[in-house]
Amino acid sequence: MKAPIPLLLIPGTLCDERLWGPQVEALSERADILVPRIDTSDDLDALARDILDQVPWRQFSLAGLSMGGILALSILRQASERVDRLALLGTNPFAETPERQAQRIDDIAQAKEMGIARYAREVLAPLYPAKGKAEEIEHSALVVAMAERSGFETFRRQALALRDRPDGSANLAVITQPTLILCGDGDRLCPPSRHIYMANQIPNAELVVLSGAGHLTTLQAPDLVSEALSRWLDRMPRAQR
């Protein structure tokens, strides 16, 4: 029997291990899975270092969704030798524009004024379904529950970390790990064009675009995401190539 594959699954803004719940269940027999906390700093690279401190393995496969994917790219910049495989889901590899940087401050102020649960319910949750699709009550409720558990201070730190993050696009061409790039075709926050760009830049990348899915593909198309991750885990890790 093969030893379980060490697998790090990084969630997105105001999310926790429940974002990856279907994949943890589907992959638990073949992978040793850790979903880290991402709430300790308002600096993206410092957050990535803290995640590395939480990881018990010398080498591991690495997947991240949204902010989790941005953190995965930072981890790769800092400790590429520890990463066997890379998966980026619903991810934006670019730095923030000046306009979006300013909007982050407004987002923080709005979340503080509304309260984090209401902000998640009224501002964030409507952005996550695919374009033209209605919210699913179960998914929106989970978004609110994860936000309530995370709290406003975590949101503030995460928003600042995203606002000031470095541009990760310049490093895509030097990635040597087998890489999965996955998104929903209706993702309004990280559209398919960004994933096509990443897949074209990363030499050993596979692109998967899921029809009818939005930003939270792990919840909106759980079986398809789990299948794609399972195929990705079948790929020979970089160290053995």
14-28 pLDDT per residue, tens: 999 999 999 999 999
| pTM of structure | 0.96
Q: Report yes or no: 9 and 63 within 8 Å, Cβ to Cβ.
A: yes
**Rounded CA gap, 177 and 203, in Å?**
9
**Rounded CA gap, 142 and 145, in Å?**
5
> What pLDDT score was predicted for residue 240?
46
> What pLDDT score was predicted for residue 238?
66
Domain parsing of the chain, residue ranges = 5-94+167-240, 98-159
**Rounded CA gap, 179 and 204, in Å?**
6
> What pLDDT score was predicted for residue 241?
43
> What pLDDT score was predicted for residue 3?
85
Which two structure tokens, joined as six digits, stand for 101? 């940087």
> What pLDDT score was predicted for residue 1?
62
Residues of the chain with pLDDT under 70: 1, 238-241
> What pLDDT score was predicted for residue 237?
84
Give domain 5-94+167-240's CATH number out of 3.40.50.2030, 3.40.50.1820, 3.50.50.60, 3.40.50.300: 3.40.50.1820
Three-state secondary structure call for residue 61: strand
C-alpha of 209 from chain center: 15
